[in-house]
Amino acid sequence: MTTDEAAALLFREARLLDAQRYDEWLALYLPDAWYWVPSRADQASWKDTISIVYDDRQLMEMRVRRLMHPHAHAVQPPARTTRILGNIEIEETRADDCIVRSNFQMIEFREDRQLVYGGAVRHRLVRRAGALAIGWKRVDLVNAAGVQEPITIIF
């Protein structure tokens, strides 16, 4: 797996999220995938302490259904987002998967309010049947230990 291949998948994921194409975003993930936003940078497991978000695949699917529901109060009006990814590098490679690290900045605008998020992300990318898929995603927010606004978006 090359850095260019990994970057292409991460850029596609960001583009789908910004376009609110959540079903297509979810299709990038394996059936046993998870998505995690720890509350501390040194948090080794989602079981150790409370997390900002920890979704297994079933909860990821529920999150997408809520985001897409026309009467979901928490996401009306929908937020507009834009993501910038950088410093993409492969940290670890095995036979059919790798761990990719990147940095991100995301701007969220909703109801005349703009929020800025940033941090480091790790993805486990897996090659299955010739295509890349996401096995898991960990998002370490720069301000994870700080007071958080209610988070309704996916990083």
Does pLDDT of 93 surpass 90? yes
Provide the pLDDT for residue 71: 66
Q: Which long-range contacts (CB under 8 A, 24 or more apart) does 83-88 make?
A: 83/14, 83/17, 83/18, 85/7, 85/10, 85/11, 85/14, 88/3, 88/6, 88/7, 88/10
Structural domain boundaries of the chain? 3-141
Higher per-residue pLDDT: 68 or 84: 84
Q: 2-13 burial string, b = 16+ CB within 10 Å, else e? A: eeeebbebbeeb
What does pTM read for this prediction?
Answer: 0.90
Q: Residues 65-81: pLDDT tens digits?
A: 887 776 666 666 888 99
In the predicted model, what is the mean pLDDT of residues 77-98? Answer: 92
Beta-ladder partners of 49: none
CATH for the 3-141 domain, from 3.10.450.50, 3.40.50.300, 3.20.20.370, 3.40.50.2300: 3.10.450.50
CB 147 within 8 A of CB 129: no
Q: What are the two backbone dihedrals, phi and then psi, of residue 90, each rounded to the nearest 5 degrees? A: -85, 120
Q: How confident is the model at residue 118 (pLDDT cuts 50, 70, 90)?
A: very high
Mean pLDDT of 74-93: 89
Q: What is the pLDDT of residues 41-67, one digit of tens each?
A: 888 888 888 889 999 999 999 888 887
| 145 against 15, higher pLDDT | 15
Quote the pLDDT of residue 72: 64
Pairing of strands 29-38, 51-56: antiparallel
Q: Tokens 């900002």 belong to which residue?
A: 52
Select the more confidently predicted residue: 70 or 28: 28
